[in-house]
């Protein structure tokens, strides 16, 4: 179901006209109200008035995460602080945390975009949504919560953690929809399974998963184990939170980015040059309606491509492909560029292997060494002999060498022996960084 037919199926020329009006307005606002932007425009010798068409976008300055950090906590706000009704913040695992604020209208738009997202995933007012994204400063919990309410669904604000209770309530309350990170969905499956609850037999039918990278192979695994349709949702706190882009149940192929609110571009992460649809590069987003923190050409660091081909669902908004990684997550191993998701895709394809893994990179002498630990599936572990284990390790090593061109040491470890995550998974340890 399309939640906002008028906006989500707007003919592309009308969409472009709306985007241009909103872009001009945003440029005027940031120039007048945010010293950072006034300086950035002045330094480039431009005024907001240079924007006469969407093609002028590349003439505007970029905004980086570091700019938000420099403005900590409120310097990037474009409205008086007393019009802010909510704050969220990123966890700050990669540096000082960034604080984002919302006006009443921002929250209203966010709820609508999250309602659009849940609706695109096939959920409606008659669904019960088990929302296991963390509530708090993280945008996942409250973002989904108000969207589910806007949709008219029944939201179960379970938040993250307490997995046994989650499994029980998933069964008792009869949730039909579930929202959490994809890695947590698999973890919850294991917890439930150990308690004698088979999620496949519950009424649960749709999962809306995001906040971390995942693969098509992982989707297949989740769908098989939980007996549901698993769909991808994208967002980031700097831009809004969840609900920036959402995969539709009809195509299950790329996430519609809500273009009446966000203007996407793909750029070469090294040169900053614009790239055409279909080319993989860094996603850059300009907010078109944000009041509290409007951002011009925000560099997300997320790598994907833009798909402008018409979608079977009838939405006219462009799709972004699955996020292939973050430009700052890329591992360079003996000169070869490797993304953790590429390794995951190879692991998950092999039978008898679970999608729980850890990647460690260290320096041995002067060379980089890559080690991958991955869990056996329960069934395989019980039946396999040592020599079979070694054979599998060798075969994985060969696939990694063949597909990615890097040599890795693969170690198969016992089921349930690697760390599990209730929020975003963190599977890479790059020990070289400490040197
Ligand atoms: O993770 C917002 C969110 C909550 C999205 C719930 C989806 C669901 P941040 O904590 O600011 O916000 O992290 C944003 O997470 O730049 C991506 O690198 C990554 N990310 C988010 N969604 C996806 C996804 C939330 N579907 C950062 N696939 C982003 C891959 C994702 N990566």
Contact 210, 251 (CB under 8 A): no
Which residue's alpha carbon is at the smallest distance from atom 15 of ligand 1? 211
- What is the b/e burial string over 198-209, where b = at least 16 CB atoms within 10 angstroms of the residue's CB? ebeebebbbbbb
Q: Which residues line the pocket of ligand 1, CB cutoff 6 A?
A: 90, 133, 139-140, 210-213, 232-237, 241-242, 300, 302, 323, 326
Q: Which residue has the tokens 């998933």?
A: 170
Start-to-end CA span in the chain (Å): 53
CA distances from 347 to 344, 393, 403 (A): 5, 11, 12
Residue of 118, 235, 238, 301 with the most ligand 1 atoms within 8 Å of its CB, for mutation: 235
Atom of ligand 1 nearest to the CA of 208: 8
Q: Do residues 144 and 114 touch, judged by C-beta distance below 8 A? A: yes
| Beta strand segments in 294-418, E | 298-304, 306-307, 319-320, 325-326, 331-333, 336-338, 353-364, 367-376, 408-413
- For ligand 1, atom 12, the nearest C-alpha belongs to 236
Ligand 1 centre and the CA of 364: distance in Å? 33
Residue 389's pLDDT is what? 85
Nearest protein Cα to ligand 1, atom 18 = 302
392-425: burial string, b at 16+ Cβ within 10 Å, e else: bbeebeebbeeebebebebebbebeeeeebbbbb
Query: Measuring from atom 28 of ligand 1, which residue has the nearest CA?
Result: 213
Percent helix, strand and coil across the chain, each to the nearest 5: 35, 25, 40
pLDDT in tens, 61-90: 999 999 999 999 999 999 999 999 999 998
Helix (H) or strand (E) holding 19: helix 12-33
pLDDT of residue 95: 61
Ligand 1 centroid to Cα of residue 163, in Å, is: 22
C-alpha of 23 from chain center: 24
- Residue 220 confidence (pLDDT): 95
Q: What pTM was computed for the model?
A: 0.89
Distance CA 130, CA 334 (A): 44
- Tens digit of each residue's pLDDT, the chain (435 residues): 999 999 999 999 999 999 999 999 999 999 999 999 999 999 999 999 999 999 999 999 999 999 999 999 999 999 999 999 999 998 665 567 799 999 999 999 999 999 999 999 999 999 999 999 999 999 999 999 999 999 999 999 999 999 999 999 999 999 999 999 999 999 999 999 999 999 999 999 999 999 998 999 999 999 999 999 999 999 999 999 999 999 999 999 999 999 999 999 999 988 999 999 999 999 999 999 999 999 999 999 999 999 999 999 999 999 999 998 888 778 888 888 888 888 988 998 888 888 899 999 999 888 899 999 999 887 777 776 667 888 889 999 999 999 898 999 999 999 999 999 888 888 999 998 754
CA-wise closest residue to 406 among 332, 348, 323: 332
Please identify which residue in the block is written with the tokens 């390790």.
393
CA angle 19, 72, 81 (to 5 degrees): 65
Encode pLDDT of 242-277 as tens digits. Answer: 999 999 999 999 999 999 999 999 999 889 999 999
129 backbone dihedrals φ, ψ, rounded to 5°: -110, 115
Cα 279 from Cα 304, distance rounded (Å): 8
Residues 6 or more apart whose CB falls under 8 angstroms from that of 220 comprise 348
Distance 287 CA to ligand 1 centre (A): 16
What is the Å distance from ligand 1's center to 136 Cα?
15
pLDDT of amino acid 377:
82
Residue nearest to atom 13 of ligand 1 (CA): 236
pLDDT at 93: 54
Which residue among 96, 118, 207, 236 is best mutated to probe the pocket of ligand 1, counting the most ligand atoms within 8 A of its Cβ?
236
Task: Give the distance (Å) from ligand 1 centre to CA of residue 210.
Answer: 6
Q: Whose CA is nearest to atom 30 of ligand 1?
A: 213
């Amino acid at each position: 179901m399309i939640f906002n037919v008028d906006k989500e199926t707007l003919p592309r020329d009308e969409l472009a006209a709306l985007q241009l009006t909103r872009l001009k307005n945003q440029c005027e606002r940031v120039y007048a109200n945010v010293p950072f932007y006034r300086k950035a425009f002045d330094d480039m010798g431009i005024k907001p008035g240079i924007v006469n068409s969407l093609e002028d976008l590349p003439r505007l300055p970029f905004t980086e995460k570091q700019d938000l950090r420099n403005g900590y906590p409120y310097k990037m706000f474009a409205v008086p602080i007393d019009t802010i009704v909510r704050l969220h913040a990123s966890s700050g695992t990669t540096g000082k945390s960034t604080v984002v604020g919302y006006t009443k209208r921002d929250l209203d738009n966010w709820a609508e975009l999250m309602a659009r997202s849940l609706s695109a995933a096939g959920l409606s007012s008659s669904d019960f949504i088990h929302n296991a994204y963390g509530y708090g400063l993280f945008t996942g919990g409250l973002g989904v919560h108000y969207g589910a309410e806007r949709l008219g669904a029944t939201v179960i604000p379970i938040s993250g953690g307490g997995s046994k209770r989650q499994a029980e309530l998933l069964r008792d309350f009869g949730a039909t929809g579930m929202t959490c990170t994809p890695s947590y969905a698999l973890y919850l499956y294991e917890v439930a399974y150990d308690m004698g609850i088979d999620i496949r037999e519950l009424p649960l039918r749709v999962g809306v998963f995001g906040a971390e990278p995942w693969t098509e192979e992982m989707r297949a695994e989740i769908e098989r184990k939980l007996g549901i349709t698993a769909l991808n949702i994208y967002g980031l706190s700097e831009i809004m939170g969840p609900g920036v882009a959402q995969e539709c149940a009809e195509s299950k192929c790329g996430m519609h980015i809500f273009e009446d609110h966000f203007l996407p571009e793909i750029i070469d992460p090294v040169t900053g040059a614009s790239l055409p649809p279909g080319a993989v590069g860094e996603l850059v987003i300009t907010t078109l309606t944000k009041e509290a923190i409007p951002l011009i050409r925000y560099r997300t660091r997320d790598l994907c491509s833009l798909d402008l081909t018409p979608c079977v669902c009838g939405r006219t908004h462009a799709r972004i492909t699955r996020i292939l990684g973050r430009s700052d997550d890329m591992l360079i191993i003996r000169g070869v560029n490797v993304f953790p998701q590429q390794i995951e895709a190879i692991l998950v394809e092999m039978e008898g292997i679970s999608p729980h893994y850890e990647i460690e990179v260290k320096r041995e002498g002067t060379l980089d060494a890559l080690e991958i630990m991955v869990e056996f599936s329960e069934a395989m572990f019980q039946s396999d002999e040592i020599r079979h284990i070694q054979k599998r390790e060798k075969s994985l090593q060969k696939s990694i060498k063949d597909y990615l061109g890097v040599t890795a040491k693969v170690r198969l470890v016992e089921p349930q022996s690697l760390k599990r995550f209730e929020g975003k998974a963190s599977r890479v340890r790059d020990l070289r960084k400490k040197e």
